[in-house]
Amino acid sequence: MAMQFKRTKHKGREQSLMMEPMIDCVFLLLIFFMVSAVMRTPPPFTVTLPESATRHEFPRKKFNLFISTDGRVSFDDLEMMTLDHMELFLSAHENQITTLIIKADRRAKHGVVIDVMERAKRRFSRIEGQEIALAVAEN
């Protein structure tokens, strides 16, 4: 923190406001908000979610699975070359995933979404405690 020096009062001189403690507080707040911010990485392609009338909240998770209109699959910003690569990625990170949130584009083929869900279920070794959810846009 800033050090305070003794000031002698001189006649005719005005006292000034100490700015050092305020600057320290501003920088501490800046550091706090930078550290506590959640960084979101966008997928490598655009995903437009379908709309839904119901609402269900899921806890924030590290991995979101995105499916594009042309069938490309990615985990956050890491694009998978094939569905086999997706399975290997899931099995390597299954301890960190309790709810796998699939965000498929509204124009994505249904068969691709089902294939991704079946492969994800097959790779989860724990049957209890792991869920697969489909994300939709709210009305």
pLDDT in tens, 106-131: 888 988 999 988 888 887 766 665 77
Task: Please count the structural domains in the chain.
Answer: 1
Give 33-57 pLDDT, tens digit per residue.
Answer: 888 887 777 777 787 777 777 766 6
- pTM beyond 0.85: the answer is no
The answer to whether position 25 is within a domain reads no
Domain with 83, as residue range(s), is: 51-138
Tens digits of residue pLDDT in 9-39: 556 566 777 888 889 999 999 999 888 887 7
**Domain annotation covers residue 27:** no
Taking the alpha carbons of 16, 21, 25, 26 in that order, is the dihedral positive or negative? positive
CA 108-112-117 angle, 5° bins: 115
In a domain, 4, yes or no: no
Is residue 30 assigned to a domain? no
Least Cα distance to 65 among 77, 53, 75 occurs for: 75
Residue 107 lies in a domain: yes
Which long-range CB contacts under 8 A does 46-49 form with residues at least 24 apart?
46/105, 47/103, 47/104, 47/105, 48/105, 48/106, 48/107, 48/137, 49/103, 49/104, 49/105, 49/106, 49/135, 49/136, 49/137
Task: Say which residues have a Cβ less than 8 Å from residue 44's Cβ, sequence separation at least 6.
Answer: 72, 74, 77, 79
